[in-house]
Amino acid sequence: MIPTIDIGSLFESVSESKGQGATDLAIYRAASRSGFMVITGTPHPEELGADRRKSMLRIFGLPEAAQRRLWKRNFAPENPNLYRGWFPLHSGESLCREGFEIGPDCTRALPQLTTPDLLYEPSVFPAEAEMPEWRTHVSDFYRAMESIGSTLLASLSRSLGISETIFANAFHDGISTLRLLRYPARPVPEGALSAGLLGSSDFVAKGHRNYEIVCGAHVDTGLVTLLADCEVPGLQAQSRSGEWVDVAIPAGGFAVNFGGLLSRWTGKQIRATRHRVLSAGPERYSIPFFFEPRPDTLIAPLPIPGAEAFKPFLFGDYLWDTTTRFPENYGLGHLRAAQPGYRDPWATTGSGSRE
């Protein structure tokens, strides 16, 4: 079972809250045992509500010409943006999703750097005339999600016995990514799966229905992912026994999963869990928020008893190395140099796997 935790007490002042300790314990248990949880009781119900989510998803209704102006340069060579922006359906071989990625400048000015960093690339936005109030709604949503992410990491800090300032300082001027995703409607075979399909990794039978795997099993490579409910089920997490468990997100709630990097950073006190997305065929939307610190954040063993040692590295080097392996960013790896001596931190384990 995926635990559901009301985190409302974490947003109360210490003097007012009587349940913070119990909430901290529940979050730590979920993070260390299942690596997945569902949260309710978050503040900002208007900024995070269903109406605002639908407003943000209007972007997928833009005319094709307006969409192309937002495409990443990999797909529209005339555009300047490489890291932020739209990746269209033909960004991957499966042609099963398109998405739009937004950075922190939707809500605040980017820092002025002596040496430019591609990870601080400005976001691109539709014109206000094309999408009235869209940017305001995105900004409100982004800001609220940062607040939730910071609150969750502060809670984990207390449980891990480390200073809350470690994560708080790392996320000052962070580069979190808000991603809007659309999975188009696709035909799914009815009835019993044929022998050929039964052996395919693209479809699974569940109950009396067949589902397509529109996002394959994976562990998020980052720290914390917050996923908004978009009223269409399909998210599954894998239990320790290998069973796939449906993640039910109540209205106004969020799924939270912890990534491989947070597991490494915390000496594997936090568990990173495989998950996937199924679709029965209808169009599906998703709004994940990837909570990410500053590129120059040093990822080094935390002062946790028994934490596994590893060679420190900069978050930005790790993120660029990772993100340029995804189809929408293929071929960009050489555009941002890592610090001398950087190597994939998972390669040092000998397995070469982030899972």
Q: What is the pLDDT of residues 239-257, one digit of tens each?
A: 989 999 999 999 889 999 9
Asked, for residue 94, whether it belongs to a domain, the answer is yes
**270: Cα separation from own chain's centroid:** 16
Burial (0-12, 13-18, 19+ Cβ within 10 Å), 60: middle
Which residue intervals of 130-250 are DSSP H helices?
Answer: 134-160, 164-170, 195-198
Query: Average pLDDT in the 117-134 region?
Result: 97
Rounded Cα–Cα distance for residues 175 and 111 (Å): 11
Rounded Cα–Cα distance for residues 289 and 292 (Å): 9
Q: 187-196: list long-range contacts, CB under 8 Å, 24+ apart.
A: 187/281, 188/212, 188/279, 188/280, 188/281
**Token pair 């954040």: residue:** 297
Q: What does DSSP assign to residue 71?
A: B
Asked, for residue 200, whether it belongs to a domain, the answer is no
pTM: 0.93
Asked, for residue 353, whether it belongs to a domain, the answer is no
Asked, for residue 103, whether it belongs to a domain, the answer is yes
Extended strands (E) in 184-336: 203-206, 209-218, 224-228, 235-238, 244-246, 254-258, 275-279, 284-291, 298-299, 313-314
What is the number of domains present in the chain? 1
Angle between helices 20-29 and 134-160 (to 10 degrees): 90
Asked, for residue 107, whether it belongs to a domain, the answer is yes
Asked, for residue 125, whether it belongs to a domain, the answer is yes
Q: What is the mean pLDDT of the chain?
A: 89
Which CATH number covers residue 61?
2.60.120.330
Asked, for residue 213, whether it belongs to a domain, the answer is no
Rounded Cα–Cα distance for residues 354 and 299 (Å): 16
Q: Tens digit of pLDDT for each residue in 44-84?
A: 999 999 999 999 999 999 999 999 999 999 999 999 999 99
Q: Which domain holds residue 304?
A: 4-185+218-274+285-348
Give the pLDDT score at 263.
93
Asked, for residue 34, whether it belongs to a domain, the answer is yes
DSSP element (H, E) containing 94: none
- % residues pLDDT > 90 (the chain): 70
Q: What does DSSP assign to residue 53?
A: H
